[in-house]
Structure 1
Amino acid sequence: MSPTLDLTGNGWGPVLVASGVAILVALAGGILTDTGAWYRSLRRPSWKPPDWAFGPVWTVIFALTATSAVLAWNADAEWGSRAALLAAYAINAVLNVAWSGLFFTLRRPDWALVELVLLWLSIVGLILVTTPLSVTAALLLVPYLAWVGTAGFLNRAIVRLNGPFRSA
């Protein structure tokens, strides 16, 4: 029997939804990210990863996050577990996109730094929600947590090197 698009089962539905959401979050964040003149004018620490590295790293993180979501979804068909999982991933998706909007669109790295703490905590929340369902799903989120932690230090350095900021 071939996999079905049934979202309540273990077919292709969860894979397609998780992949689609990951792509939408990546596209939304990308649309809000402008590395033009304003960004290039910012002083950045010498240890900042090269700009070309961000795309591949985020691609891997989104793939791991989507895989984590599918593994956790398929691990437990109980509605309460799935509702908590959906809520945690939805909150994380909104916070992920919001950071790009605050930092690049509004040109407020200071506000983005505060929001980044919430994003980091939402990843911790994802790990806590997925661990009882699938340890593998939780472990797949560790690179995301580490990358956002690194981004936090970079964001903080940019604020220290360039602040104060005013609305665009």
Structure 2
Amino acid sequence: MSGKRSLVVQFLGLLGFLALTAAAAGIGSWATIPNIDSWYAQVRKPSWTPPNWVFGPAWTTLYLLMSVAAWRVWRRVDADPEARKNALGCWLFQLLLNAAWSWLFFGMHDTGLAFVELISMWLVILATLVAFVRIDRVAAVLMAPYLLWVTYAGSLNGAIFWLNR
């Protein structure tokens, strides 16, 4: 393909990244949804906790941005292959941590362990953003809202842990 991916391959690549994030969202939702109206409704939360309806649109938007960011890095065949491999490896790792957090927090009701895992996820998201900026600045910008949201989510998770210890 002489240094470029065909439009069909690019489209299929985008669909692949969308599918990966949808899978992570589905795995997380499997633990989350059954616990929203039961366990989570009973947990003490700080006054600055958003209403439950905010989380769906926020995460949908973030998953779309994350998918497009990874796709942009993947399609940069002109970039250093090792840098692309490492950047996409970081992206995949943060996605796995993202799905795992839901199981720790909602599935196991372990807000403390979820908070520790979220700190790890935050660090991996930051590493992903830094790796992305070296390959595609737009991809890094697309990851920034996710890092900000996880910063907020981390403070919320930490407050819930503190209030319910």
TM-score w.r.t. structure 2 length? 0.90
Shift of 1:113: 0.3
Structure 2 residue identity aligned to 1:44? K
Seq. identity, %: 35
Give the conservation status (yes or no) of the 8 Å contact 2:118–2:154: yes
Q: How many residues are matched?
A: 157
Flag the structure with more relative contact order, 1 or 2, with Cα contacts below 8 A and sequence separation at least 6: 2
User: What are the ranges of 5 or more consecutive residues in structure 1 without an aligned counterpart?
Assistant: 6-10, 164-168
Q: CA deviation at 1:75?
A: 2.1
Cα distance between partner residues in 2 of 1:48 and 1:13: 38
* Partner in structure 1 of residue 46 of structure 2: 45
**For residues 13 and 133 of structure 1, what CA distance do their matches in structure 2 show?**
21
Displacement of 1:79 in angstroms is: 2.7
Q: Distance in 1 between matches of 2:69 and 2:125?
A: 12
Q: Specify the code of the residue in structure 2 equivalent to 1:18.
A: F
From 135, 144, 147, give the equivalent of 1:145.
147
1:111 maps to amino acid: L
Q: 1:1-168 maps to which residues of 2 (within 5 A)?
A: 3-5=7-9, 11-33=10-32, 34-77=35-78, 78-163=80-165
Bigger helix share: 2
Asked whether the 8 Å contact 1:116–1:152 carries over to 2, the reply is yes
Q: List alignment gaps of at least 5 residues for structure 2.
A: 1-5
Mapped to 1, the partners of 2:138 and 2:103 lie a distance apart of: 31
Counterpart secondary structure, 2:125: helix
Distance 1:69 1:38 in 2: 34
Please give the alpha-carbon distance, in whole angstroms, between the structure 1 residues aligned to 2:60 and 2:39: 25
Query: For 1:86-113, what per-residue CA distance to the aligned partner results, in whole angstroms no more than 9, with x for missing partners?
Result: 2111111110011000001111001000
Distance 2:114 2:122 in 1: 12
Q: Distance in 2 between matches of 1:89 and 1:135?
A: 15
Tell me, what secondary structure is at the counterpart of 1:141? helix
Cα distance, 1:18 vs structure 2:
0.6
> Per-residue displacement from partner, 1:27-86 (whole Å, max 9, x unpaired)?
111111121321111110111111000000000000000010111112235431231122
Asked if structure 1 preserves the Cα contact closer than 8 Å seen for 2:84 and 2:135, the reply is no
TM-score (norm. length: structure 1): 0.89
Tell me how far apart the structure 2 counterparts of residues 76 and 48 of structure 1 sit (CA, whole Å).
Answer: 42
